[in-house]
Amino acid sequence: MLEFKDVTFEYSGYDCNMMDKLSFKVNDGEFISIIGASGCGKSTVFRLINGLEKPQSGKVLVDGEDITLKKNYSAYMPQKDLLYPWRTIEKNICLPMEIQKKSKSEMAQRAEEMLKEVGLWEYRNKYPKDLSGGMKQRASFARTLLTGSELLLLDEPFSALDSLTKISLQEWLVDEWQKHKKTILFVTHDVEEALFLSKKIFIIKDRPVTYFEEYEVPLSYPRTREDMKRGDVTEIKEMLINQLRGKVEL
Whether 57 and 87 share a structural domain: no
Q: Which residues have C-beta within 8 Å of that of residue 170, sequence separation ≥ 6?
A: 158, 193, 196, 197
Task: Please write the tens of the pLDDT for every residue from 215-243.
Answer: 999 999 988 999 999 999 999 999 898 88
Nearest to 6 by CA among 178, 174, 211, 156: 211
Whether 6 and 120 share a structural domain: no
Task: Please write the tens of the pLDDT for every residue from 168-192.
Answer: 999 999 999 999 999 999 999 899 9
Radius of gyration of the chain (CA): 19
Whether 156 and 215 share a structural domain: yes
Q: Give me the mean pLDDT over the 30-51 stretch.
A: 87
Domain end: 133, 148, 163, which one? 148
> At 114, which amino acid appears?
M
Whether 187 and 129 share a structural domain: no
**φ/ψ (deg, to 5) at 28:** -60, 130
Whether 221 and 134 share a structural domain: no
Q: Is 184 helix (H, G, I), strand (E, B) or coil?
A: strand
Whether 101 and 60 share a structural domain: no
| Cβ neighbours, 10 Å, residue 218 | 12
Task: Please write the tens of the pLDDT for every residue from 45-65.
Answer: 999 999 888 999 999 999 999
Nearest to 32 by CA among 212, 165, 176, 164: 212
Q: How many domains does the chain have?
A: 2
For residue 249, pLDDT beyond 50: no
Whether 125 and 247 share a structural domain: no
Indicate which CATH number applies to the domain containing 242. 3.40.50.300
Whether 129 and 91 share a structural domain: yes
Domain end: 108, 131, 148, which one? 148
CA-CA distance, 94 to 139, in Å (whole number)? 11
Q: Which domain range does residue 85 map to?
A: 81-148
pLDDT class of 246 with cuts at 50, 70, 90:
low
Whether 94 and 64 share a structural domain: no
Whether 56 and 174 share a structural domain: yes
Give, in degrees to the nearest 5, the angle at Cα 178 between 158 and 81: 25
Task: Please write the tens of the pLDDT for every residue from 94-146.
Answer: 999 999 999 999 999 999 999 999 999 999 999 999 999 999 999 999 999 99
- pTM of the entire predicted model: 0.90
pLDDT value of residue 248? 39
Whether 1 and 13 share a structural domain: yes
Phi-psi category of residue 64: left, alpha or beta, with phi > 0 → left and psi -120 to 50 → alpha: left
